[in-house]
Structure 1
């Protein structure tokens, strides 16, 4: 499975999700590659902060040729996660063309919901060439027990892109883990954050069947 995380709005938690989804996939003994396609290189920074053995491979590829290079770069890997760029560019188009499924992280905020329009349009364009390309919204940094957290699914329904049932709540452990180059399951294997990430991965794998 090749999953690309994209949203033209910065600060939606793409890198945090990319790292933790890759870590969750790697826990099952599968070989996972994380491609950092964001020119800021945050996933590479995460890997550099890590003192433990690597959970998965991380490579930087912030250029608009990912879809052409992915077969060669991804050889021997079971899953590939692409941490996409924060803006709609040729690089974002390339990441979408390389993916089997595009995950669009959105925070429960009207700005995030409006900003998703550009990525949805790009996915529509890509489906002209890749008709089996799948896509889904993932509600990230959800604040528990708030009206906007509950209503975000309804607000996204207008896009005709499914919203994953699993969602990820705003938790301090994500930042604490990132600072040490760790995944949340390494900090607290049975904690709520790890459980939420596992649920997202399970739903993604189900979507790809």
Structure 2
């Protein structure tokens, strides 16, 4: 299953969610994460920035050279600013390169794709080549606008369907924040997860320390929420109690 993490609104928590869900999934199987954001934030977090994604889309891709092992069960194809060169190609060409990768790799239970926060060739290719997409939604003004825009955009291009939307960075002290998970369920029905992720500084500290959440802050509320959310999204068994509406 190839799943893109996408939201056309910046600061929605895509990269944090991609890392955290990949972290949890890797305890249940073998996971490949493809960083398709030229900022390379995900890559810098879990390994280091690199030209793997650019080589995949525009050059001669060598899995043994460009697939980085983070730990047993978790591999990453990293990105850096050189990935911006890929936007010079048509989305159809990039989609073809992604589909060739899917055909060439084996042994992975799930492939997760982190995307940039704006419509363009990279997001288009990810939506066209993926089986579905996940959309994290952070509370704030127009919290669901990026999600609605993304769903419309993917529908127009004939891309992947929404697997699920979920709220993250939720501050339970704020009535506005607490309302976002409820709004998602009311608007999307079973396309919205009732599980949501509470706001905590420890996940941000894990990124700064370049460590996975499971290693850096195994007791953090947000990490427990991501564990419960992942179990909900992927039908896993867990005894971790996260937060749900």
Which TM class, normalised by the smaller chain length?
0.7 to 0.9
In the alignment, structure 2 segments of 5+ residues that lack a partner are 49-68, 237-245
Q: Is the 8 Å Cα contact of residues 170 and 196 (structure 2) preserved in structure 1?
A: yes
Q: Deviations over 1:38-92 (max 9, x none)?
A: 111111111336xxx7231111365442542341454321111111111011211
1:95 aligns with 2:126: yes
TM-score by length of 2: 0.72
In the alignment, structure 1 segments of 5+ residues that lack a partner are none
* Equivalent in the alignment of 1:152: 180
* Equivalent in the alignment of 2:223: 194
Q: Deviations over 1:82-106 (max 9, x none)?
A: 1111101121121112222311111
Match of 1:170 among 199, 215, 218: 199
The number of aligned residues is 201
Flag the 1:73–1:22 CA change in 2: closer, same or farther, 3 A: farther
Of 187-196 and 171-180, the range deviating more from structure 2: 187-196
* Equivalent in the alignment of 2:143: 112
1:17 aligns with 2:29: no
For 2:125, what is the secondary structure of its paired residue? helix
Flag the 1:173–1:84 CA change in 2: closer, same or farther, 3 A: same
* Equivalent in the alignment of 1:33: 32
Q: Deviations over 1:4-53 (max 9, x none)?
A: 1101111112111111111111112x11111001111111111336xxx7
Q: Deviations over 1:168-209 (max 9, x none)?
A: 1111111111112212111232432221111111111139xx
Of 182-191 and 165-174, the range deviating more from structure 2: 182-191
Backbone CA RMSD of aligned residues: 2.5
Cα distance in 1 for partners of 2:168, 2:159 equals 29
User: In the TM superposition, what are the counterparts of 1:58-73 in structure 2 within 5 Å?
Assistant: 58-60=76-78, 62=83, 63=86, 64=91, 65-66=94-95, 67-72=98-103
Cα distance in 2 for partners of 1:179, 1:69 equals 34
For 2:77, what is the secondary structure of its paired residue? strand
Flag the 1:73–1:8 CA change in 2: closer, same or farther, 3 A: farther
Q: Which has the larger radius of gyration?
A: 2
Flag the 1:106–1:73 CA change in 2: closer, same or farther, 3 A: farther
For 1:44, what is the secondary structure of its paired residue? helix
Cα distance in 2 for partners of 1:122, 1:160 equals 20
